[in-house]
Structure 1
Amino acid sequence: MCDPELTGFSVNQMTVKQLSLPELVKGLVELGVPGIGLWREPVAEYGLAAAARLIRDAGLSVTSLCRGGFFTAIDPAERAAALADNRSAIDEAAELATDTLVLVSGGLPPGSRDLVGARERIADALAELAPYAAERGVRLAIEPLHPMYAADRCVVSTLAQALDLAERFPAEQVGIVVDTYHLWWDDTVAAGIARAGAGDRIHCFQFADWTTPLPAGVLTGRGQLGDGAVDFRWFRREVESAGYAGPVEVEIFNDGMWARDGREVLAETVARYREHTL
């Protein structure tokens, strides 16, 4: 049974990637957590249909699927492959009964310094994919990533940049992700959240903390809630004031957390969510 305090709460499976999908589902049910965020690779490893059945039978909701995107290639063959992969991701999201596919848009192609051109190629890809997703009941959610990722992973770094892309399309087709890890530093984020809410563009809301020093490679530097600099209650107030009433996911990539017992980390994550966000 879902704990009323945890209504709308979701744990992304990457937070405790050391747990198998059945172990995570069992743990979430025991802790009264109603939602789960999924990643394509471990879902494919378990089996798409089997994963959908496992989660459905447990009574959990899939709050998002990560990830699509990587739209910035210049080479025609690479672009075609990216579009095909994203159509597959949309189909997987529909099979898993989630209405939200998170997009990491892609970095600069090798040898390129053209940020504007890269962002326009994202828009071109969205124009092809948004109608396909809409036909399957899936929304595309552009996730702005911290600027340190702009060169190699995501040329969309702010909510304003994400909204400039999303607003070219109907809100029910393309929106944005508010992820505290990537946006906590930006003094325009409140205006961006308000703008996104006014347009009904907030399709996903994720928590992770910012801790230093960052590890080599920086991808696995997200902190457990309460260990760093992020004011989660402030973010929650801003997002809810903007009209968002959807799920809240905790999505953390952290080598230290992954090295621990997954059940212990899962219980700690729920406890930190209660302590630092409610």
Structure 2
Amino acid sequence: MSLKGRLSINLATTRGSWGFKDAVEGCLRHGITAIAPWRDQIAEIGLAEAARIVKENDLQVTGLCRGGMFPAVDKAGLQANIDDNKRAIDEAVALNADCLVLVVGGLPGSSKDIVEARKMVTDGIAAILPYARENNMPLAIEPLHPMYAADRACVNTLGQALDICVELGSGIGVAIDVYHVWWDPQLEEQIARAGQMDAILAHHICDWLVPTQDLLLDRGMMGDGVIDLPAIRRMIEQAGFHGPQEVEIFSRDNWWKKSGDEVLRTCVERFESVC
């Protein structure tokens, strides 16, 4: 069966071997026609060239990673972050991405006030949302595992992300990454809620290894860990989202050391067998 419309590769997964152009060529060799690049990868090759490659190969861009990182130590810093997110929206539009993924940011500076950090996140998204709406670019809040609350994302559950969506209205939804939400006892309830809101914009997959050697850079290939991937997939599909599953693996000491072709071959095999 064709992988078109079923499998996407987040280009973090092949970061150890390839830049943007090589990653696209590798994906096409393996029958994969959907990708999710990172902004630094786009900057390295140039936005115009990346957009040309996407268009000429009829690629689906399931998301651009990433916007967000709103909290700042002062108003000038917050404004700079807002301005950068508007540039990210422009890049996502140029790539015809399905959404701009938001990793919202953690505690700014030496702050211990997570409540204020979360307010900055909501205020920051509210500031860019009109621009996103004008450009028809959906924003996808990606809640991150609580271990990242201080430094990467103070929005840590799907419920928290959906509460922001309710507060801010149209043009915003969620990216559901199994690595970050698999543990949540309210996951099924909140996925159903997201479906009722038509808020699911992306579905990211990998696995949680036991033991985990690094909190950021030791994600597992699907089937190598403890996440019940088929169960979460069923929840998401029952909620009405049938877009590609996007493989996103940060693996400094394992998969990033292998050839890109081996990584993609394994991604396809595991997608077909365990997801």
Using structure 2 for the length normalisation, give the TM-score: 0.96
Runs (4 or more) in structure 1 with deviation over 4 Å come to none
Matched, 1:38 2:61: no
1:166 Cα deviation (Å)? 1.3
CA contact (8 A) 1:99 1:137 kept: no
Q: 1:7 aligns with which of 5, 8, 11?
A: 5
Q: 1:174 aligns with which of 172, 175, 182?
A: 172
Structure 1 range deviating more: 158-167 or 23-32: 23-32
Please give the secondary structure, in 2, of the residue aligned with 1:85: helix
1:232 Cα deviation (Å)? 0.9
- Return the letter of the residue paired with 1:110: G
C-alpha separation between the residues in 1 aligned to 2:109 and 2:236? 36
Please give the secondary structure, in 2, of the residue aligned with 1:119: helix
CA contact (8 A) 1:8 1:34 kept: no
Residue 157 of structure 1 is matched in structure 2 by 156
Matched, 1:258 2:263: no
Q: 2:246 aligns with which of 233, 245, 249?
A: 249
Residue 99 of structure 1 is matched in structure 2 by 98
C-alpha separation between the residues in 2 aligned to 1:208 and 1:132? 32
1:8 Cα deviation (Å)? 2.8
Matched, 1:116 2:115: yes
CA contact (8 A) 1:63 1:98 kept: yes
1:152 Cα deviation (Å)? 1.0
1:114 Cα deviation (Å)? 1.7
- Return the letter of the residue paired with 1:262: G
C-alpha separation between the residues in 2 aligned to 1:131 and 1:224? 38
Q: 1:221 aligns with which of 218, 222, 226?
A: 218
Residue 195 of structure 1 is matched in structure 2 by 193
Identical residues among aligned pairs (%): 45
Residue 132 of structure 2 is matched in structure 1 by 133
Deviations 1:146-184 (A, max 9, x none): 00000111101100111111111234x111111000011
- Return the letter of the residue paired with 2:222: L
- Return the letter of the residue paired with 2:101: V
Residue 69 of structure 1 is matched in structure 2 by 68
Structure 2 unaligned segments of length 5 or more: list them: none
C-alpha separation between the residues in 1 aligned to 2:28 and 2:189? 37
Matched, 1:237 2:209: no
CA contact (8 A) 2:68 2:104 kept: yes
CA contact (8 A) 1:36 1:62 kept: yes
CA contact (8 A) 2:107 2:117 kept: yes
1:123 Cα deviation (Å)? 1.0
CA contact (8 A) 1:34 1:60 kept: yes
CA contact (8 A) 2:3 2:32 kept: no
Please give the secondary structure, in 2, of the residue aligned with 1:267: helix
- Return the letter of the residue paired with 1:63: T
The two structures, once aligned, show a CA RMSD in angstroms of: 1.2
CA contact (8 A) 2:195 2:240 kept: yes
C-alpha separation between the residues in 2 aligned to 1:268 and 1:6? 17
Please give the secondary structure, in 2, of the residue aligned with 1:210: coil
CA contact (8 A) 1:205 1:247 kept: yes
Deviations 1:120-158 (A, max 9, x none): 111111111011011111111111000000011110110
CA contact (8 A) 2:37 2:63 kept: yes
C-alpha separation between the residues in 2 aligned to 1:168 and 1:29? 40
Residue 81 of structure 1 is matched in structure 2 by 80
C-alpha separation between the residues in 1 aligned to 2:109 and 2:25? 43
